[in-house]
Structure 1
């Protein structure tokens, strides 16, 4: 008897098992970042941009105005130089009359003669006024400038320009402005000195002598300092001790003061000179005090200050005038 073949299981009756089929990995192409057009600025952004542009335009206009003012040298006889290229006018210079400067007659005569030669277009030297503090160095420069302008026509008047010690590096820029002018200028730096590793003195050296342009013919430089060589003693000694050739290092440092052709030394005044200064001030301003009382108070004032100088005499005079109700005017 033949065997019947086994019946194939029905699809509906058999348990179907689903197995996950791994899809072949397909590498997607990298997305290319499409460059979108920039969105137009909003009203607020546009306003900020406009305000920023206006501020820049105003700054440029102010700078241009400063440059124009620098050339308007008819406005005054005295100016202050600013390193941004601006000359600000000084309507009234703080000074004393030259006749009130006592105890410095020799230095006064030499400086006035040098300044007068320069004002008349003749050769003259740059001047370094050095020495004891409070002895009238800066007062002499301002008084000499004022005294020479008294009898001069407006077109022939000397111009006094003060440059601050910290702005010395901008001196070449100032020279460029003054070089093209028809006026003659005294460029004045009060209390000039250099410390530490300050190398700005090299700008001054080039202007005084040595640069290919040199000092303009219509410019002269006057400087005051408590130091004869404009450098601190420890600065010079340090150069001497650390340099391979000490002599050359020190020579390079002290050569700055050598470029001032005129040296005027101011020394401490005697008691008689100090009293002469006090009496000269009191006489000029009409301060009436008995001579013996004036001398006693003036000497006591100098003793409390620990020094005698023209500055101390002026400070005593101000104190005395204040106590007596006398108004002072140095104009």
Structure 2
């Protein structure tokens, strides 16, 4: 007759087989970029990024971000960055493109860690995980909101930027992007004025903690058309400026993203790839 101990041993063995394997420790020196979900980091074999020269109409912002990331990669004092403004004007693309460009110039010295939505409360765990590496890291928070539903995350971010009780090495900096409407939500309802003021105060309290703040404005007509030409010149495709402007009006904005969408439409009609 089988003893009770054998039964429990078999149950324990079965549970071990059913349980997912423990994740492998992250090698923070192996990849150019990582995705942080709040608990674990997923290394990315490559950092998807446009060539820095391919971002048109934001030259001052490009220079400022690249210079700051060069300082970070080379061990000099660097700033936390807030990139805010019009949607589709290349804020997120600039962060990735500038970091990829700096990483190419300084191999192995810097990496991007993009944080998943809702993971800002895990900052202490992430900082602790990165503490064992001497590599520079840019923690990237894309499209941060400032509404009531994001208040807890904003407070966590403010605490980290202030220093708080979590020591953050100087080689770990933060980049945040946010649309203009995400920073201050405006309402025509007078009863919402107090709520709007509170959100504005929260946004300013957070924005003040970034040493480098860059604004992105909608593209003017000439810049918008220049971006389209940048995409369509290599395949030798012509386009109508009037049609391009009508396309932007239909979508309600002139931006780098709209320019790419229009260029994609022209290339698709011609049966070529961009």
TM range (shorter): 0.7 to 0.9
Question: Is 1:51–2:14 an aligned residue pair?
Answer: yes
Instruction: Give the drift of 1:253.
Output: 5.9
Cα 1:44–1:266 change in 2 (3 A) is same
Once residues 81 and 308 of structure 1 are traced to their aligned partners in structure 2, the CA distance between those partners, rounded to angstroms, is 33
Q: What is the CA–CA distance in structure 1 between the aligned matches of 2:245 and 2:146, rounded to whole Å?
A: 35
- Pick from 40, 43, 60 the counterpart of residue 89 of structure 1: 43
Compared with structure 1, are the counterparts of its residues 196 and 115 closer, same or farther at alpha carbon in structure 2 (3 Å cutoff)? same
Instruction: Indicate conservation of the 8 Å contact 2:84/2:214, yes or no.
Output: yes
Match of 1:237 in 2: 194
Change (3 A) 1:222 1:250: closer
- The number of aligned residues is 268
CA offset digits 1:282-309 (Å, max 9, x no partner): 22xx22233xx44233223212222110
Q: Which residue of 2 aligns with 1:74?
A: 29
What SS does structure 2 have at the residue aligned with 1:199? helix
Residue 321 to residue 44, structure 1, CA distance change in 2 (3 Å): farther
Q: Which moved more, 1:301-310 or 1:256-265?
A: 301-310
Number of the residue aligned with 2:210 = 260
What do you get for the CA RMSD once the two structures are aligned? 2.7
Partner of 1:190: 142
TM-score by length of 2: 0.86
Q: Secondary structure at the match of 1:200?
A: helix
**How many Å separate the matches in 1 of 2:227 and 2:60?**
16
Pair member with larger Rg: 1
The answer on whether the counterparts of 1:131 and 1:267 sit within 8 Å (CA) in structure 2 is yes
Alpha-carbon distance, 1:121 to partner: 0.9
Residues 116-141 of structure 1: CA deviation (Å, up to 9, x unaligned): 11111111110000000000000110
For residue 218 of structure 1, the aligned residue among 171, 191, 201 is: 171
Alignment equivalent of 2:64, drawn from 105, 110, 113: 110
The residue aligned with 2:252 is 306
Higher relative contact order (CA 8 A, sep 6+): 2
Q: Following superposition, which runs of at least 4 residues in structure 1 exceed 6 angstroms of deviation?
A: 42-46
The normalised TM-score by structure 1 is 0.73
In structure 2, distance between residues paired with 1:253 and 1:268: 21
What SS is found at the alignment partner of 1:62? coil
* Displacement after TM superposition at 1:110 (Å): 1.2
> Are the aligned partners of 1:135 and 1:309 in contact in 2 as well (CA < 8 Å)?
yes
Q: Does 1:129 align with 2:72?
A: no
Matched, 1:317 2:267: no
* Shift in CA distance, 195/117, structure 1 to aligned 2, threshold 3 Å: same
